[in-house]
Amino acid sequence: MRILAIESSCDENSAAILDDGNVLALVTITQQVHQAFGGVVPELAGRSHLELQDTNVQRALAEARCSLEDIDMIAATAGPGLVGSLLVGHSFGSALATSRGIPFASMHHMEGHLWSVEMDRDPLPLPFLVLLASGGHTLLTVVRGFRHYDVIGATRDDAMGEAYDKVGKLLGLGFPAGAAIDRSAQRGRPDAVDFPVALRDGSFDFSFSGLKTAVAYKLRDEPQWLEERHRPDLLASFQSAAMRSVLTKIERAAIQYRVHAVCAAGGVAANSALRSGLADIAGRLSIEVAVPPLKYCADNAAMIGYAAHKLWQAGLPAEQLPVRPRWPITELRSPAAAFSS
């Protein structure tokens, strides 16, 4: 099964070719137009996707040394995401599939991230636990099989990646700020500032708004922390608090749900402290650990193609659905259930 996959949910335009789940080509362009605004501007994102979509698909086909005649199915992200961005990639893929007379699959963006933990490795033993963490989502999910997802925890306010970006904005680190914060934090002392760890209430939910606000107040009341020489200590302390809030819950959930692996996916999964923390948990519990290769952590079409491959493996139909900016992953238990009303 050779799949052409398209991802355009936010500010990355990406196309990939997969053959039986193996990535033959991946072309991803991150839109730079948003840098000046400190965040993604939806209208500019949609326009940029229009300019990039056909070119990226042609580049992916060339990189894979194949043509549209070699493609058996096309898959594109239908949600969640920015509606204008979603429409570009989804409509392009749908029209292409119709013109070729081949199946088209509308795919869930976070499901793509979820299954990216299996890419470039052997399949994971079930059940396994995944932290889905990005600029827009933070979900703790027990995976019992394809389209069998139990979300046991979620953020009650800011997403984890969003908190990183907002702290980065306070310090003028650019957008997105996660990688810059991680690099700086590795040079600092994690106990330099006692930042709060939220929601020690026994739940598996997360909260990052208070931590973000604590950093803002620290910078307002003690402006010396804005100095370059103090920044690593500040960011190491911020990162330590953020990671303690998620890693403690991951370990507790892994024990309670008796999972066979702990995983993380999404943009935040590139974070070095999260990756090492998961490895420590796996070692203590004698279970597996899985995080995607760095190239599959950010939004990319390869993960969408791999999720479409899992759909085909499960014997489920490739369905064309409307784009949906808000789309809970739990509604994927039945592929068309979210659109039955």
Instruction: Give per-residue pLDDT as tens, 165-212.
Output: 999 999 999 888 999 999 999 999 999 999 999 998 889 999 999 999
Q: What pTM, to 2 d.p., does this model score?
A: 0.93
**Span 294-316, mean pLDDT?**
97
Where exactly are the structural domains of the chain?
Answer: 2-114+296-339, 124-292
User: Does CATH place domain 2-114+296-339 in 3.30.420.40?
Assistant: yes
> Is pLDDT of 298 > 90?
yes
Greater model confidence, 218 or 33: 218
Burial annotation 157-175 (CB, 10 A radius, 16+ → b, else e): ebbbbbbbbbbbebbebeb
Q: Do domains 2-114+296-339 and 124-292 have the same CATH topology?
A: yes
In percent, the amount of the chain with pLDDT more than 90 equals 86
> Is pLDDT of 334 > 70?
no
Would you state the pLDDT for residue 333? 66
CATH superfamily of this structure's domain 124-292: ATPase, nucleotide binding domain (3.30.420.40)
> Is pLDDT of 336 > 50?
no
DSSP string, 105-171: EEEEHHHHHHHGGGTTSPPPPSSEEEEEESSS-EEEEEEEETTEEEEEEEBSSS-HHHHHHHHHHHT
Indicate the pLDDT class of residue 33, thresholds 50, 70 and 90: low
Would you state the pLDDT for residue 341? 37
Separation CA 81–CA 304 (nearest Å)? 14
Would you state the pLDDT for residue 337? 45
